[in-house]
């Protein structure tokens, strides 16, 4: 059941990325992580927000950097 919920959350995340014009097989965190490496202020701000959320919810540091899918997007 836990794996099912995890997979469902990934599908929602990828669907949200596709809705926002991104690759339907890439997560928002991966897309933001890549964009933040380019230094754009909005991408950096979003990376900080997402990283903060994941740190407070799961204890994971640098979520966006760890989520980058180089073969997607």
What burial letters (b/e) apply to 23-39, b meaning 16+ CB within 10 Å? eeebbbbbbbbbbbeee
- CA–CA distance, 73 with 54 (Å, rounded to integer): 22
pLDDT at 73: 77
Question: Is 30:67 a contact under the CB 8 Å cutoff?
Answer: yes
pLDDT (average), residues 1-6: 93
- CA–CA distance, 35 with 52 (Å, rounded to integer): 17
Question: Is 45:53 a contact under the CB 8 Å cutoff?
Answer: no
- Tell me the per-residue pLDDT of 11-68, one tens digit each, with 9 for 90 and over: 999 999 999 999 999 999 999 999 999 999 999 999 999 999 999 999 999 999 999 9
Indicate the DSSP class of residue 62.
Answer: S
- pTM here is 0.88
Spans of all domains in the chain? 2-67
């Amino acid at each position: 059941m836990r794996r099912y919920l995890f997979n469902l959350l990934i599908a929602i995340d990828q669907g949200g990325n596709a809705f926002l014009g991104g690759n339907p097989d890439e997560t928002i965190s991966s897309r933001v992580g890549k964009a933040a490496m380019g230094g754009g202020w909005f991408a950096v701000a979003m990376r900080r927000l997402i990283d903060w959320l994941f740190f407070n919810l799961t204890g994971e540091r640098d979520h966006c950097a760890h989520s980058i899918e180089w073969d997607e997007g």
